[in-house]
Structure 1
Amino acid sequence: YDSSETPPANYPDHVSVEDTHYFYEPISGQKMDFDYYKITQDGYVIYGVCQKGVLLGEGVSHTIIKLKPNSTEFESKNADQFASFAMSYAVDGPLQYTGTPRAETVSKNILVDGNLMVRVRIESVSPENDMKTNGVYTYYYSPSPSVKRIVAHVNHEILKDIKVKGDEERDGTYAGLSTFKSRSATIDDMNVGNILPYLHIYGEDDSIKEYTIPTNPESHQPEWILSTADDIDLGSKAWLCIDDPSTGKTHALVFQSNTGLLEGEEDGIQVKASVKQVVKLPGLEADTGTSMQPRTPMKKMGNMILLSQKEQMFPLALSLQPLKTKVIKPLTKNLRCFRV
């Protein structure tokens, strides 16, 4: 404290955020068409925070797109990994799921566009008007070339009772982390990404568990690596990552806590994982591997899973952390930084 007024620090303007739109249709009917916030640092695009739209048929509201290092343009060829902080559930039919990722109307605003930090808010309601996601996303300037984390504070709300249909493994997710690849013999910009081959989880028994992710799925239906029957929950340190030890490439989701999300016995975070072929057309193939974090355990009404309006969901705090490490230990250090 000083008795006289102190001038504010004059930090260089390292980060910025822009409300913009992206469209790309490499093959007729297969398009990327979405509104998003573009987050840049020192002239390089770090993240895209999607507001609404589609990406090769998938809803993208509350999807975070991490770009490759040193990307000067937001383009499909520069996409690195994806994370979703929307809430979704399974339905019958070709869409396979619905929820706030498929929101058609959103409210949004830039909360902070500072020199060292940017913060945006997105609120979306599912097309069925049965659930709502309100997310605040914050990016802090990071001079480290290998660590560019984004912090999410998300609140999901069920507006009316929902009966989950279709693939019941997708039964009401809080968040998800995706790894992807696309290949084209004719479109160079669509030769991007690789499915990272391992999933690591800090389990409820306080051990680190490892699972292999198939890197070349052949079915349009999800092939489940971890399902409800496996009963894998996040432990007290509440993190998971998709990674490739041979290269050190790691993308992690770190939760503030594995408890305090729901009242009663259904509190907690389960981990499920699947792979599927998203697009298979002459000249274009796209595959994805996804780890989803639903509530645990499920509630059933007869033979039907029920997401109840009566459930009180508390805000969820977590961060997406891309790292370059061939061992998992550095993740523990980043955990401490996030939870301070």
Structure 2
Amino acid sequence: MIDRVHRSRTLLVTGGAGFIGANFVLQAVADGLTVVNLDKLTYAGNLDTLASLQGNPRHAFVQGDIGDRSLIARLLAEHKPDAIVNFAAESHVDRSIDGPAAFVETNVVGTLGLLECARDFWRSLEGAAREGFRFLHVSTDEVYGSLGDEGKFTEQTAYAPNSPYSASKAASDHLVRAFHHTYGLPVLTTNCSNNYGPYQFPEKLIPLVIQKALAGEPLPIYGDGLNIRDWLFVSDHCSAIRRVLEAGRIGETYNVGGNAERTNLTVVKTICTLLDQRRPLADGRARESLMTHVKDRPGHDRRYAIDASKLESELSWKPSQTFESGIAATVNWYLEHQPWVQRVLDGSYRMERLGS
């Protein structure tokens, strides 16, 4: 099997200033790859995360929309990437409930534009460049809907999205599949479980709880808190994407999971315990006392769990972090990077733009 990691010297990464995308970019550049990083810089795009790459010749940042076909065509012609890795997406379920149109525009219409540009660029290539080109689409386990108490999502699980966000991602997955079967575009798709780790936007559960717990504020928990997610440390997700990119079978989907099912209650209690040990409250209260149950989110899926055995058996990938080691590392990171968090919270991260 061809080892494409060493041939894929240049990647076009979309959404590379977001949480998972930026972690991927940092990892790829550190490993010697060149990255053309395209991001629209919505609220979730944070160039502070990429500050260490400023002036690095292996990283070129471009602000733009994946739906801007003339821009995409120009970047492809200029940089001639060996692969496109598509992270670009609106991804917060609560925001999709309040305003679904933006999710359709980015996740469906934007992905379609990116696919059409990728197809035309791929058709222009010859020989080894054409044979080695890949379009890797990063998706979510939420497209599969909600599980009962038993079983796990596999790559054969029928799609049953329950939120505007997951419906828009399901549509984008179908477009990627269609471009392979209709046009022959060499695509790969990954569907991941819930990510966590450094640089995650503080609206998501784990960083939100860390910040509120540090401040001694109430910790909101949807419903009874017994919703279950499979938690995946972000660096493990990035390594899985790299592995699929280098050796995955064209046209295939690979589920990526952390083998770490936990209820939301367990996640919050674990964070409370870690912070009590590392940064006790001045009044000596246990942070679990701050937990507050709030009205459940509409259409809240009860359980997700990923069966990643295909990825493990075909490509010899396994997560390096347990939930316990990953959540401890995450809490430590947030304690050590409060200036990054505060710039997100006060909005100043959006006031400056990083040069390429």
Q: What's the TM-score bracket when you normalise by the shorter of the two chains?
A: under 0.3
TM-score, scaled relative to structure 1: 0.24
Under a length normalisation based on structure 2, what TM-score does the superposition of the two structures give? 0.24
Structure with a larger share of its residues in strand: 1
Higher RCO (C-alpha 8 Å, min separation 6) = 2
